[in-house]
Amino acid sequence: MQKVSLFIDGKTIEVSEGTSLLEAAHLAGSYIPTLCAHPDLPPGGACGLCLVEAGSEVVRACETPAAQDLQVQTDTEEIRRLRRDNLSHLLKDHPHACLTCAQKVGCSRTQCSSNVAVNERCCAKLGNCEIERVVEHVGLREDLGRYVYPGLPKFTEEPLFTRDYNLCIGCQRCVRACRDLRGVDVLEAYEWNGRTLVRAKAESLVDSGCRFCTACVEVCPTGALLDKDVKSGERETNLVPCRGTCPAGIDVPRYVDYVARGEYGKALAVVREKVPFPGVLGRVCFHPCEDACRRGQVSEAVAICRLKRFAADHGGVAWKERRKPARPTGKKVAVVGSGPAGLTAAHYLALKGHSVTVFEARSQAGGMLRFGIPAYRLPEHILREEIAEIEALGVGVITQSRIEKADALLEEGYAAVFVAVGAQKGVALAIPGEDRAGVVQGIDFLRGVALRENAAVGSRVAVIGGGNVALDAARTALRLGAQNVTVLYRRSREEMPAYAGEVGEAAHEGVQFEFLSAPVRIQQGGTSNGRTLNVICQRQALGARDGSGRRRPQPLPGSEFAREFDQVIVAIGQEVDLPEHFGPVLDGKGIRVDPETLMTGRVGVFAGGDAVLGPASVIEAVAQGRRAARAMDKFLGGDGDISEVLLDYEERNPWLGPEEGFALAGRVGEAKRPWQKSKQQVACGAESSACPTGELFYTAFTEVDIGLLEEMAEEEAGRCLKCQLRLRLREAPRPPEKWLVFDAKTVEQVPETEGVYQLLDADKEIISIVGTANLREALKEQLGRENACCFGYEEDRMYTQRESQLMQQFLQEHGRLPQGADDLDDLF
């Protein structure tokens, strides 16, 4: 494209033909205020703030193209006056009392010392508002009158964001974003009482066909469109919560998008960039991403976990082409325990070039994945295949090798040790009769079944507990032939820590539940063979909430009752089980470690997973393995960077287009293979003391969840709101900041007087706000601060009050205090 050369504020700039003066000025480093233009949108021309002198004319920079040898002035006295007039005209129909208030910084907006009516005050964006920044730069006319509240519609009950057209300035950014950027076109401008306003094309956003991508909210310069639940703080975590809440940091929207487009191999590559167990996690993850999914506020959350499984099952092996282990470092690493945390750490340490050996006390690798999760939830071949991929990196796995002392491994020449033994020991009930024959720990019961060992099951089985182990034990007992299985739980169904889906499936299969029932003792039953057990329970009532957020059970006096069973399975929790002289110190949950490095009190010995957290989820264990690998690689002299790139990033077209019924579309159906008791299961149960093998076992423990078919997966992935697209929208240019270079020469120019200074890092993020009696001397003391790159200051005799105001403003905008100010949390 042909180039043109022009002069902006005396500076020569060359741009492509057709470039607007607004964009050319931005490239030249000259700021031009605007409220209707946006770097990602076509010109608007509605605000009249982007006026410049081009030759002898005053023109709008947003719609005037650059021309050869054109002389442009962006900041003359006349231009400033015209901008001030136009901005004042806009703000006569917008609340502005707070914008010019001397006490606005740190104001809570709940009480007003000037007695401004609530509906005449600014919105919650005050302190982090585009229109506020423009007002501060341009200024307002002194004769600007009082704002009169027009009583326009407010929409607060629709999903994700509110619409308050009393705050609309008619810039139409939202209309252009919806129409020209996303192709959805559900908003329109209209004239009302001499003003240009915006509305949905139908009665509601849902009826209009909104895709709820929230691009309109992102570009709105006022609070007319305002996020409902996006709290101040980390922007990416708030706007793309599925990715932000994944403990392993999987790029959820990216792989969901690939599934929707039918590119399953790419979807799997994205998942495998963060975890070595996509097939496992696609079946057993507790998916906090789905709880956070913003689609759930519109209709139902996207079935993210099922899509992960689909990618794992259909993604093929193309991802292996980019897997490139580093050169051998010559460092030996020992991993004690082959559960998800241990194997994940081994995977990433091997990729970093270290020689890794995994020691497993039992006969097969996998830890709780193999011995604690039944095959009907996690088929053995899935786990076996994913462990094989880790071994293919050169990781050695030595089974039936119980490590008695961590130090012994260091003495054998291992440079570092990672202890990931899990929480393998069941927690006792601590009630009389618990040691009777016929009472077994849930984790021992499941382990025996997984090993095809003696796993006798009675005809009537009680399972005590409400977690996933309890439900796994109950459903397993049914598959082994129990005629009746009852779960005894001391709280209500709503308080059960087990996954809701598992509870529902257990009930569907025939497991019975006795809620608000706490066993207090176990007695011998009254049958002639003496094999039955009487479980004496006490009714409970729910009281105040405890530390877990669940209501605490309170025993009801005189409410004891008895239930007779042939077998009792106890599953109320697990704890770490280490040899007496193993080494690392235990605390209340597990092994005590440094929270940042996961190193124990013994240098070179690290720990993670359930061994540190206590019983947790598979994805949390995987995340611990990743953290450990980073820390251990640094300890071994590496850079700690375990990131993998198995697929080059592709920019997705931001165009969405209309889709009828999109907003209300619910999840696609589930493909399941419901388990039902058959003669085979009965035959291998109560009448036999041996766990079924071969075909009988396969029949009894066939995977229940079949997964999604291709058309189902693509339809489900297509329900995604594409929240991540909002992050690609650029921020409207801000007025120039008056930050100074933080060096000794500049600090010498600062007055020795009272005031407040702010230090910023290289990204212009505020890292310190401090009031002081001597600005220059206080800044001199900070000159050695490593991450401080620039600063600003205000002279103020009331510097303590001003410091507090600036802290409040920062807290409102970021949801936290600046770095190093954590000790002030209680004050704010």
User: Range(s) for CATH 3.40.1440.10 in the chain?
Assistant: 740-827
User: What confidence category does residue 585 fall into, taking pLDDT thresholds of 50, 70 and 90?
Assistant: confident
Contacts of 139 (CB under 8 A, 6+ apart): 80, 84, 87
CATH superfamily, domain at 740-827: GIY-YIG endonuclease (3.40.1440.10)
User: Range(s) for CATH 3.50.50.60 in the chain?
Assistant: 324-424+576-635, 427-572
Residue 596 in this model has a pLDDT that exceeds 90: yes
Average pLDDT value for residue range 24-52 = 93
What H or E segment, with its residue span, contains residue 279? helix 278-284
**What is the signed CA dihedral for 780, 785, 788, 791, rounded to 10 degrees?**
-20
User: Between 472 and 699, where is the model more confident?
Assistant: 472
> What pTM does this model have?
0.87
Tokens of 716: 């489900």
User: Between 741 and 66, where is the model more confident?
Assistant: 66
Q: How far apart are CA 617 and CA 416, in angstroms?
A: 25
Contacts of 286 (CB under 8 A, 6+ apart): 499, 617, 618, 619
Contacts of 787 (CB under 8 A, 6+ apart): 761, 762, 767
Q: How far apart are CA 750 and CA 669, in angstroms?
A: 67
Convert the pLDDT of each residue in 270-295 to its tens digit.
Answer: 999 999 999 999 999 999 999 999 99
The pLDDT of residue 821 is 60
Burial tier of 472 (Cβ tally within 10 Å: 0-12, 13-18, 19+): buried
User: What confidence category does residue 827 fall into, taking pLDDT thresholds of 50, 70 and 90?
Assistant: very low
| CATH class for the domain made up of 154-227 | alpha beta
User: What confidence category does residue 634 fall into, taking pLDDT thresholds of 50, 70 and 90?
Assistant: very high
Contacts of 811 (CB under 8 A, 6+ apart): 232, 817, 828
Average pLDDT value for residue range 640-659 = 95
Q: Rounded to the nearest 5 degrees, what angle is found at the Cα of 249, between the Cα atoms of 245 and 250?
A: 105
Of 120-129, 138-147, 267-276, give the lowest mean pLDDT range.
120-129
User: Range(s) for CATH 3.30.70.20 in the chain?
Assistant: 154-227
Convert the pLDDT of each residue in 421-449 to its tens digit.
Answer: 999 999 999 999 999 999 999 999 999 99
User: Between 493 and 580, where is the model more confident?
Assistant: 493
Average pLDDT value for residue range 322-346 = 97
Tokens of 776: 């220059």
Side chain identity at residue 323, one-letter code: R
The pLDDT of residue 420 is 97
Helices (runs of H) and strands (runs of E) counted in the chain: 28, 29
Closest to 771 measured CA to CA, from 814, 824, 812, 816: 824
Using the structure block, give the residue that is written with the tokens 């041996």. Answer: 690
Convert the pLDDT of each residue in 367-394 to its tens digit.
Answer: 999 999 999 999 999 999 999 999 999 9
Q: How far apart are CA 173 and CA 219, in angstroms?
A: 6
Q: How far apart are CA 667 and CA 301, in angstroms?
A: 8
Using the structure block, give the residue that is written with the tokens 């009031």. Answer: 771
The DSSP call for residue 364 is S
Closest to 668 measured CA to CA, from 722, 720, 715, 705: 715
Closest to 147 measured CA to CA, from 224, 192, 95: 95
The pLDDT of residue 106 is 63
The pLDDT of residue 683 is 41
Other CB atoms within a 10 A radius of the CB of residue 320 amount to: 12
Architecture of domain 427-572: 3-Layer(bba) Sandwich (3.50)
Q: How far apart are CA 718 and CA 801, in angstroms?
A: 52
Maximum pairwise Cα distance, the chain: 111
State CA 287 to chain mean position distance: 10
Q: How far apart are CA 110 and CA 129, in angstroms?
A: 18
The pLDDT of residue 688 is 40
Q: What are the angstrom distances between the C-alpha of 736 and each of 92, 166, 359? A: 25, 29, 59
| pLDDT-above-70 percentage for the chain | 94
The pLDDT of residue 820 is 59
Residue 679 in this model has a pLDDT that exceeds 70: no
Other CB atoms within a 10 A radius of the CB of residue 567 amount to: 24
Residue 403 in this model has a pLDDT that exceeds 80: yes
The pLDDT of residue 700 is 78
Q: What is the CATH number of domain 324-424+576-635?
A: 3.50.50.60
Convert the pLDDT of each residue in 470-516 to its tens digit.
Answer: 999 999 999 999 999 999 999 999 999 998 889 999 999 999 999 99
The pLDDT of residue 684 is 43
User: What confidence category does residue 686 fall into, taking pLDDT thresholds of 50, 70 and 90?
Assistant: very low
Using the structure block, give the residue that is written with the tokens 């908003």. Answer: 187
Q: Strand 533-545's sheet: what is its strand order?
A: 517-524, 533-545, 551-565
Q: Taking a C-beta distance cutoff of 8 angstroms, is the pair 574, 424 a contact?
A: yes
The pLDDT of residue 697 is 60
Q: How far apart are CA 193 and CA 98, in angstroms?
A: 25
Q: How far apart are CA 756 and CA 272, in angstroms?
A: 48
Average pLDDT value for residue range 127-143 = 89
Q: Taking a C-beta distance cutoff of 8 angstroms, is the pair 66, 24 a contact?
A: yes
Closest to 594 measured CA to CA, from 643, 620, 632, 623: 632
User: Between 460 and 676, where is the model more confident?
Assistant: 460
Domain 3-138 has CATH 3.10.20.740: yes
Average pLDDT value for residue range 716-744 = 92
Tokens of 825: 């949390």
The pLDDT of residue 580 is 82
Q: Taking a C-beta distance cutoff of 8 angstroms, is the pair 65, 54 a contact?
A: no
User: Range(s) for CATH 3.10.20.740 in the chain?
Assistant: 3-138
The DSSP call for residue 109 is S
User: Between 313 and 737, where is the model more confident?
Assistant: 313
Closest to 495 measured CA to CA, from 542, 554, 550: 550
* Distance between first and last Cα of the chain: 55
Residue 214 in this model has a pLDDT that exceeds 90: yes
Q: How far apart are CA 207 and CA 200, in angstroms?
A: 9
The pLDDT of residue 486 is 98
Average pLDDT value for residue range 104-126 = 80
Q: Taking a C-beta distance cutoff of 8 angstroms, is the pair 471, 444 a contact?
A: no
Average pLDDT value for residue range 749-763 = 91
Residue 812 in this model has a pLDDT that exceeds 80: no
Using the structure block, give the residue that is written with the tokens 């393995």. Answer: 625
Average pLDDT, the chain: 91
Q: What are phi and psi of 806, to 5 degrees?
A: -70, -35
Q: What are phi and psi of 759, to 5 degrees?
A: -105, 145
